Homo-oligomer: A and B are copies of this chain.
Amino acid sequence: MPHCHTFIAALRQHGYRITPQREMVIEVIAHSRQHMTAEEVYAEVQKRTHAVNIATVYRTLDLLVEEGLASRADLGGGQVVYATAAHGPHIHLVCRQCGLVVDADVVPFEPLFRQIEAAHGFVCSPQHFAIYGQCAACRAAADAVPERG
């Protein structure tokens, strides 16, 4: 069963109406091989039909995030991206200095997520989240000379 049908079934089960606009947005994000910005999703939808408004794209993406079917990550520099679990869970290491984004495996975090669930009753859905820090290149540069030297 194609991935987007899974999403549609889940939304239907949760009482949401399935409109052609929603199907379009879901199809685009579900079949994407990597995360996309809302503007990219909108542009892809516009290739197929002009009958979907940007506000509807934002609303549908937010609905998918709220229902745990997609995740949203701020990668800095105005890059807010959406992704589904189909992309495979991973985290983004975002350099706060140069903006470089590096992907990292989320598996090592899983014991920690179980710990959080035990302590807080909170279930992490961390398909894509961002951790900010400093990349190797920027650290090397900072050690060599004071910035703005």
Contact = CB atoms under 8 A, between A and B. Distances in A.
A66 interface: yes
Contact of A120 (B102, B109, B126): B102
A68 B134 CA distance: 9
Interface residues of A, number: 43
A127 B137 CA distance: 21
25 contacts: A13-B146, A14-B146, A15-B148, A15-B149, A16-B148, A65-B132, A71-B132, A74-B74, A93-B122, A93-B124, A95-B122, A104-B119, A108-B112, A108-B115, A109-B112, A112-B112, A120-B136, A121-B135, A122-B133, A123-B134, A124-B131, A125-B134, A126-B131, A126-B133, A129-B130
